[in-house]
Amino acid sequence: MAAADPRRLHRPRSGEIGRPEAHAVHTRRSRGDRLDVVDAFRRLEDRVDEYRLLQPVANLQQRQILVDEGDVPGALDLRQHDDVELVADLADEPRHVVEEPRRVERVDTRPQAGRAEVGRARHRDEALARRRLRFDWDRVLEVAEHDIDLRLGVTVTGIDPAAREVVLADGSQIGYAKLLLATGSSPRRLSVPGADLDGVLYLRSVADCDQIKAAFRSASRVAVIGGGWIGLETAAAARAAGVEVSVLETAELPLLRVLGRQVARIFADLHREHGVDLRCGVQISQITGSDGKATGVRLADGRHIRADAVIAGIGITPNAQLASAAGLKVDNGIWVSAQLRSSDPDIYAAGDVASAFHPLLGKHIRVEHWANALHQPQTAAQAMLGQDVAYDRVPYFYTDQYDLGMEYSGYADPDGYDEVVFRGDTGRREFIAFWLGAGGRVLAGMNVNTWDASDAIQALVRGRQPVDKNALRNPEYPLESLAGH
């Protein structure tokens, strides 16, 4: 097998999974977490046996704070305070989805490696699955220990702000003093003919994850519609599984709107080098099928892409229906303040669904990534308890694809920066890219296969001061000095 470059594992250490404070740390990678792996299955992990935890329902009107849709970090943070009588945590997912040890393995995506290597790797997954089950139950026991009324597989159908009640699908009501909406998002659906065929898949729930993994085991070729983060990570996972894959993107390059032409081209080259049939500037006209099963994708120019499964990653829509029906302000998500408070002073929102005012950026943004969903609920919980807090973390996300891993810190609108400056070797894909705004201010930075840099990058973003471009380009000039550390 070809040796992979050193990779990072972005998760709490296994011994800390059960402690609530572990979820407030490890928000970026450190040298001690470096592993020699290709983390291609980050979003497509195997799942283990289903279970439900339905605690007895009693004294419902005494619930003083309700956390909606399974926001465990926020619930645990609330429960640390003795003056909180009870926290109810409701989720429509039938399994408790928690942060788990990610599946890591060395994968050779050359054609001759094929499925044999992946087959050998599956034996290693059995022990990992057993550990994952233990971590799930650790979290369930932790929730029970803190007197959190966790109910899985239930659906909230409405909110009555005047009565301070939420309504469940069975017609029952739960009263609240403060309410947190962490309802997440849903994948946008294809609207072309054939979109309802079997084998047209999306990635949102545990069940979706299982379906995609099953498709990788049975398919020889898949088509991925959309060249964003979900689409590219899915393509990398497909190649790691030995499956041929075509990625179909409407823009000139994948990630063009997010990263700009120079950096987007690096990701395009990366996937083509790993055998992905990347087609940009194409429009989808139809999902073709036979006997009710998807067989491929028809492009607007008449070309046909054969596929045993079609996976759509064309963006997400915030699940703001409950908020909208309750009369809350909704604009690209639930409109909330820096304290994550909605237009109703007793209702808060966090995660994918929240369009939050960011004090550092001076505007509302909605961030669709793990780190934001991890930390925002903790700020919301503190605000619900009357503390004077604001969510002002520098936006952060990461991705691992093949032998490339990167971390992105900051926020640069597609048309809101002047230029991109590079430090390091883009040819070897070991570099840092900086998006600069007016006067040379660093709006965002992305470290690619270059580690222990995100703290300094975030300091540059937070400093909002002009930075010398030549010093940024020079790898010998410490970023910490530029950031004023």
CATH of the domain at 296: 3.50.50.60
138 with 73, same domain: the answer is yes
| Sheet with 178-181, edge to edge strand ranges | 148-152, 87-91, 65-68, 178-181, 347-349
Full pLDDT tens readout for the chain, 485 residues: 333 333 333 333 322 222 222 222 223 343 333 332 223 233 333 322 222 222 222 222 333 444 444 455 555 565 555 444 445 555 665 554 444 333 323 333 333 443 333 333 444 444 445 444 444 556 666 666 666 777 777 788 999 999 999 998 899 998 888 999 999 999 999 999 999 999 999 998 878 988 999 999 999 999 999 999 999 999 999 999 999 999 999 999 999 999 999 999 999 999 999 999 999 999 999 999 999 999 999 999 999 999 999 999 999 999 999 999 999 999 999 999 999 999 999 999 999 999 999 999 999 999 999 889 889 999 998 999 899 999 999 999 999 999 999 999 999 998 899 999 999 999 999 999 999 999 899 999 999 999 889 999 999 999 999 999 999 999 999 998 887 65
469, 440 Cβ separation under 8 angstroms: yes
Does residue 296 lie in a domain region? yes
Mean pLDDT of the chain: 78
Report d(CA 235, CA 203) in Å as an integer: 13
Reference 124, options 135, 132, 136; nearest CA is 132
Does residue 395 lie in a domain region? no
106, 4 Cβ separation under 8 angstroms: yes
282 with 214, same domain: the answer is yes
Q: E strands within 169-308?
A: 173-175, 178-181, 185-187, 200-201, 221-225, 244-249, 277-280, 284-290, 293-299, 304-306
pLDDT in tens, 252-310: 999 999 999 999 999 999 999 999 999 999 999 999 999 999 999 999 999 999 999 99
Number of domains the chain contains: 3
| Residue 242, Ramachandran bin (φ over 0: left; ψ between -120 and 50: alpha; else beta) | left
Query: Rounded to the nearest 10 degrees, what angle do helices 370-384 and 72-79 cross at?
Result: 30
294 with 420, same domain: the answer is no
Does residue 291 lie in a domain region? yes
182, 68 Cβ separation under 8 angstroms: yes
Environment class of 283 (CB within 10 Å of its CB; exposed 0-12, middle 13-18, buried 19+): exposed
**Residue 264 host element (H or E):** helix 261-273
How far is Cα of residue 217 from the mean position of the Cα atoms in its chain? Answer: 24
Report d(CA 176, CA 86) in Å as an integer: 10
Tokens of 340: 């994550």
Domain boundary among the residues 263, 286, 314 is at 314
Domain boundary among the residues 255, 287, 314 is at 314
**Sign (positive/negative) of CA torsion 384, 386, 387, 389?**
positive
CATH of the domain at 423: 3.30.390.30
Kindly report the CA angle at 312 between 311 and 315, in degrees rounded to 5?
A: 150
175 with 232, same domain: the answer is no
What is the Cα gyration radius of the chain?
Answer: 23
Q: Torsion angle of alpha carbons 223, 38, 409, 249, nearest 10°?
A: -10
For 246, 357, 358, 361, 384, the CA distances from 392, given in Å and listed in that order, are: 39, 9, 6, 9, 17
For the chain, give me the number of helices (H) and strands (E)? 11, 28
Give the range of the structural domain holding residue 470, as residue numbers without chain letter: 412-482
Largest pairwise CA distance in the chain: 65
Reference 184, options 73, 69, 87, 272; nearest CA is 69
pLDDT above 70 covers what percent of the chain? 69
Q: In the prediction, which pLDDT does 131 show?
A: 47
Does residue 238 lie in a domain region? yes
Would you call 192 helix, strand, or coil by DSSP?
Answer: coil
Q: Which amino acid is at 167?
A: V
How far is Cα of residue 302 from the mean position of the Cα atoms in its chain? Answer: 34
348 with 302, same domain: the answer is no
Does residue 162 lie in a domain region? yes
